[in-house]
Chains A and B, each alone.
Chain A
Amino acid sequence: MSTFVEEKPTQNLEAFHGVKKVPHEEYYTSGHRTCQACESAQIMKLMAKAAGPRTIILGSTGCMYVANTSYYATPWGVPWMHTQLGSSGSAALGAAAAFRVQMRKGVMKDEPINVIAFCGDGGGADMGLNGISATMTHPDYNLLILMYDNESYANTDIQISGTSPYGVNTSFSTPGKMKRIMNHRWKKNMAPLMMVGHPTCKYVATISTSYPLQAMNSVRRALTVGGPTFIHCLNPCPKGWDFDPVLSFELGELAVNTGIWPLYEVENGKLKLYGKTKDIANGRFKRLPVRDYLLKQGRFAHFIEEDIEYFQSKIDEMWNNWLVPGIIPLQKDLEG
């Protein structure tokens, strides 16, 4: 079979088998000024550690740009470059193309270099979606787009984005005297959007910083599988979600245990659920009520019972009625 697709070799980054096997070297260190218990900063650290030194990282505008990278105080131990808010897809594509052509022409040492572009939910699910989508259609380039999702424009005063949860109180959706719920939208289902919409995308995963080993191994797997890959990470945000920083880790777990945030990876079309998500799907673990998750956060403090019920009903629907529970929102009873 002949093809004009030219795949390049990737680095073979094997999974870390246990936290004790994780190397000590950090490529995202001191210098940033993110908030206490910032889970978005946590995924930056895990991502860089998982990728290792032969990596370049492109970061689109967001709190992981502004809070992270002050002049003369960069936390990055690998090359890092700012890219515009909607440009993570284009940034990764441009870098991968530049390396590829220079290696082909013999003006740069031929080696697999990890190209990672990260974006927030605003940069990825809103403004940068078309660029990421286009990038996901290119089979010839090895790159990873990692979207850290704190469910708001957390750098600019906390405003709703395409991944903000239903009913959330943000500075663009504050409850008022007449309307308690200003955000009627439902969170964009980004990882399935990438995998279903882009057959060229060989690896998609959802991760959480409350499961750091799995998060790092997903990054390593994405970089090893190669081609255009996408990871969606949920990152509790003490400032934007309005909770005590000690709860960051617990909220990440609760998001999974309530079934709000399913953890899975899809490699070459094969879906693998992991952790509690797998147990929920197998019926070995009963989903916790969403109330446990919602009421720990000030952004839902205005919710009354019927709001919680509505939220719960949407999550129940996701697990009970969807063709692939928690992931693909087609109804189980297909016609014909």
Chain B
Amino acid sequence: MATLTVPVEEKKKVQEQEALITGAEAIAIACKLANVDVVTAYPIRPYDTVMQYISQLVADGEMDCEYIVAEGEHSQFEIVKHASVCGARVFCGSSGVGWMYAMEALTVSPALRVPMVCMVGNRALDDPGAFGVEHNDALAVRDLGWLLTWVDSAQEALDTALIAYRLAEDSRIMVPLAISCDGAFLTHSQALVQIPTAEQVKKFLPPYNRGDLLMHPDNVISIAPQVNEDWVMEIRRQNYAVTEITCDVIREVYAEFEKNFGRKYGNPFFEEYMTEDAEVVLLGMGTMSTPVKVAIRKLREQGKKVGFVRLRWFRPFPGPEIAKCLERFKAVGVIDRDFSFGSPNLSGVVATELRSAMYTGAATRPPVLGFICGLGGREVTVPDVEEMTDIVFQAANGKAQPLTQWIGLRS
């Protein structure tokens, strides 16, 4: 039997389209491709552009879903929570204090095993008011059983949204997932994005199947009764069991993604930039990668061997992997676009978590310096990165440095 084989590269060219779109639009398109059933919107900048794009897709007949504009974020997340339990694939999102307004719904979703996929357009928490990026909004759910990932480009946003549905709805996982996109820098910045076809996505993403947890008259179950001290520990342990295997499932899903779409992300948990021969590295999440990489190229010209590690997955935190990666450097500088007031060493969230991972996972422990930088949408600038690199090199050379420093602060 003769078969017609099309070279992979050529096939891809025929199928995929390229478009100049923002991070928010990329996620809207992913929702369309994933054939999402129920979407709930509520306005807050900067995440809300994703809902504007989805609204247009629905109005144009390109996407078939129930598109509901709620009267507040609490309802927004409660509506999709219940829709998901009734078998619908759902999408939702928020920013800053909007995310906090939904907090009760966010809290109950992991134990209910609701695989809602959400976009957080990272925004500073009020007060005082600021539209710009800060990571404390999404990080507020870090202990509750959510999966949390940070992306740094529109392409990665689209791809990660597809990965998110496959991962969250995996019968071994079934917990909510938030994709964090830095406000303005990613939500509103355009880039060229390869858009896969519906057929490709269909092959990669099986339909959402809630199995015997489905709420329907044919499946008479009572969901979330009062359990008290009798059972709550066992139920918490079930969510813990998810966290034990999530890293493995993430590896599987990224491998499947690569096979289906041809785009490679390598190590799913973090991206390494010029680390091979680096003496020291900086580490951070999200779109700060752009100025950091520019600065690193400049510093390299001056002979300074510095690299960058961009953390993609914060929950699950890839503790052993990242400790193994970082143990070989002379010093590490963590750039936190967040704060954790009163934490050990008064550092940001990522630095604190990383030190914990290094303590148990690294054979040798280089100094881990914490930097608080780029809060409230302030840019992480190339001079900021140069300054931080300088401090990290001093620590590498044995000169003791404060464990937390604020960078780019007005005096």
Contact = CB atoms under 8 A, between A and B. Distances in A.
Contacts of B38: 94, 97-98, 101
A84 B108 contact: yes
B84 to A, nearest CB: 7
A69 B85 CA distance: 18
A-B residue pairs, 8 tightest by C-beta: A94-B82, A98-B86, A90-B78, A74-B222, A98-B88, A134-B71, A82-B224, A98-B83
A82 B223 CA distance: 6
Contact of A79 (B35, B65, B79, B216): B216
Interface string A89-105: 11111110111111011
Contact of A90 (B75, B88, B215, B216): B75
A79 B217 contact: yes
A130 interface: yes
A47 to B, nearest CB: 15
21 contacts: A58-B82, A71-B231, A74-B225, A78-B217, A78-B220, A79-B215, A79-B217, A82-B224, A84-B104, A94-B81, A94-B83, A94-B84, A94-B86, A95-B86, A98-B86, A101-B64, A101-B65, A102-B87, A105-B35, A105-B64, A130-B72
B70 A91 contact: no
Nearest to B208: A107
A70 B228 CA distance: 9
Nearest to B216: A79
A108 interface: yes
A212 interface: no
Given A54-B217, A71-B230, A90-B82, A97 B68 contact: yes
A79 B219 contact: yes
A83 interface: yes
A22 to B, nearest CB: 21
B215 to A, nearest CB: 5
B226 interface: yes
A118 interface: no
A99 B87 CA distance: 8
Interface string A107-134: 1100001000000000000000011011
A86 interface: yes
B409 interface: no
A130 B66 contact: no
Interface in B185-226: 207, 215-217, 219-226
A163 B348 CA distance: 46
A221 to B, nearest CB: 20
Contact of B82 (A66, A81, A134): A81
A75 B217 CA distance: 16
Contacts of A131: 71-72, 74-75, 78
B105 interface: yes
Contacts of A74: 222, 225
Given A54-B217, A56-B216, A84-B105, A94 B223 contact: no
Contacts of A99: 86
A164 interface: no
A10 B294 CA distance: 61
A134 B72 CA distance: 9
B82 A95 contact: yes
A90 B79 contact: yes
Contacts of A70: 225-227
A98 B224 contact: no
Contacts of A66: 226
A134 B78 contact: no
B362 interface: no
Interface residues of A, number: 45
A71 B227 contact: yes
B294 to A, nearest CB: 45
Contacts of A54: 217
Contacts of A90: 70, 74-75, 78-79, 82
A94, A104, A107 pick with most chain B CB within 10 angstroms = A94
Contact of A56 (B72, B88, B217): B217
Contact of B88 (A71, A84, A101): A101
Interface size class of B (residues with CB under 8 A): 35 or more
B37 interface: yes
B78 A83 contact: yes
B124 interface: no
B82 A98 contact: yes
Contact of B215 (A84, A95, A105, A107): A95
B296 interface: no
Nearest to A140: B66
Nearest to B85: A81
B67 to A, nearest CB: 9
A138 to B, nearest CB: 8
B27 interface: no
Given A71-B225, A80-B223, A81-B224, A98 B84 contact: yes
Given A81-B223, A91-B79, A98-B85, 13 more contacts: A71-B230, A78-B217, A79-B220, A80-B222, A86-B74, A94-B79, A94-B80, A95-B86, A95-B215, A98-B82, A107-B207, A113-B217, A130-B75
Given A55-B217, A71-B230, A81-B82, A133 B71 contact: yes
Contacts of B64: 101, 104-105
A55, A70, A79, A134 pick with most chain B CB within 10 angstroms = A79
B326 to A, nearest CB: 41
Interface string A280-311: 00000000000000000000000000000000
A243 B196 CA distance: 68
A65 interface: yes
A53 B231 CA distance: 29
A77 B65 CA distance: 31
Interface string B82-96: 111111100000000
A87 interface: yes
Contacts of A69: 222, 225-226
A113 B226 CA distance: 26
Contacts of B78: 83-84, 87, 90-91, 94, 131
A76 interface: yes
A97 B75 contact: no
Contact of A76 (B71, B104, B222, B230): B222
Given A79-B216, A89-B75, A134 B88 contact: no
A113 to B, nearest CB: 6
B139 to A, nearest CB: 22
Contacts of A53: 217
Given A86-B74, A101-B65, A104-B64, A93 B79 contact: yes
Given A70-B226, A71-B230, A81 B83 contact: no
Contacts of A133: 71
